[in-house]
């Protein structure tokens, strides 16, 4: 990973990574080269906001309002999750 994720970052799925519903198994997944990542509903909510236009600050604000939770906590969780996906090369900023 080159740059650090910060509030101005605009996270997005890179070309070759697709999020979709896996109806046969009733779950959300990320499809990547030779890999399938099962994602829970919370992660799916986060990733739907990672469209490359929104910055992390607005994503956190949106989630905080959606889940009525403090922004600081949301930010900690979201940053950890996004960094994990970046280390697997399925998310870019």
Partner 1 sequence: MAPNPPSPPIGLLVELTHRCPLSCPHCSNPLALERPADELETGVWARVFKEAADLGALHVHLSGGEPTARRDIVELTRAASQAGLYTNLITSGIGVSETLLAGLVEAGLDHLQLSFQGTDVETNDRLGGYSGGYVKKRAVAEMTTRAGVPLTINAVIHRGNLHQVGAFIDLAVELGARRLEVAHTQYYGWALANRAALMPAKDKVEAAIALVEDARKRLSGTLVIDMVVPDYYARYPKPCAGGWGRLAINVTPVGKVLPCHAAESIPGLEFWNVRDHALGDIWRRNPAFNAFRGYEWMQEPCRSCERKAVDFGGCRCQAMALAGDARATDPACWKSPLHETIANRAAEEAAAGAAAIRWRRLRETQPAQPAGP
Rule CB under 8 A: which residues touch partner 1? 1, 14-18, 20, 22-25, 29, 31-34, 36, 86-89
Of 43 and 82, CB closest to partner 1:
82
Tell me, what DSSP letter sits at residue 3?
A: S
Collapsed DSSP state (helix, strand, coil) of residue 27: strand
Q: What is the dihedral of CA 4, 52, 48, 58, to 10 degrees?
A: 70
Min CB(2)–partner 1 separation in Å:
8
Of 9 and 74, CB closest to partner 1:
9
Min CB(24)–partner 1 separation in Å:
3
Q: Which residues contact 2 (CB under 8 A, 6 or more apart)?
A: none
């Amino acid at each position: 990973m080159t740059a650090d994720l910060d509030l101005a970052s605009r996270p997005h799925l890179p070309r070759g990574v697709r999020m979709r519903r896996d109806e046969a198994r009733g779950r959300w997944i990320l499809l990547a080269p030779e890999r399938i990542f099962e994602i829970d509903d919370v992660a799916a909510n986060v990733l739907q906001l990672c469209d490359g236009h929104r910055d992390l600050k607005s994503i956190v604000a949106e989630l905080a309002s959606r889940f009525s939770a403090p922004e600081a906590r949301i930010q900690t969780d979201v940053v950890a999750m996004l960094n994990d996906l970046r280390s697997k090369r399925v998310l870019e900023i």
